[in-house]
Amino acid sequence: MFALAPVRRKEGGFTLIELMVVLVIIGLTTAAVMLALPEAGGSLAGEADRFAARTRAARDTAILESRTVAVQIGRGGYEVARREHEAWRTEAHFGWAQRTIPEVGGSSEASIRFDSTGFSEPARVTLRRGTEHVAIDIAGDGGVHVAR
């Protein structure tokens, strides 16, 4: 009769091609996720917007309370302080995001003061992070604008 040929059983496991396809898919997915993640500390434009908003709030406080308010800028961050009884009292301290370097008139430290009418000396604060930079203009009338 017919001779039965031995039946070969397929060994369990994946082929090399299947493994390579899975690795390519994982690599592409990882690359997409890494590109979609936000920058550490947020974007430099976001940092400039936060600084501008807090500077506007300091100006508004100077007007509402009829006293001098200062935004003191340094490499570690900036503080909002107000004048009380011939002394400066710090209201709040805000740190810069990692690698953010401020510059005001060639220096990394400055004090911008708003008088009781909201006026200040004009200044340009430039925030730098690597090759990026964003400028915040503070006008003599107290206006604060992010230059884009």
- Range(s) of the domain holding residue 117: 44-147
**Domain harbouring 91, CATH code:** 3.55.40.10
Beta-strand ranges (E) seen in the chain are 69-74, 77-84, 87-95, 101-104, 110-114, 123-129, 132-138, 144-147
- Entry pTM: 0.73
| 11 within a domain of the structure (yes/no) | no
| 15 within a domain of the structure (yes/no) | no
Q: Which two tokens stand for residue 111?
A: 């004090």
| 118 within a domain of the structure (yes/no) | yes
Number of structural domains (the chain) is 1
56-98: per-residue pLDDT in tens? 999 999 999 999 999 999 999 999 999 888 899 999 999 999 8
| 34 within a domain of the structure (yes/no) | no
9-45: per-residue pLDDT in tens? 667 788 889 888 888 888 778 877 776 765 566 789 9
97-119: per-residue pLDDT in tens? 989 999 999 999 999 999 999 99
Q: Which two tokens stand for residue 61?
A: 């406080």
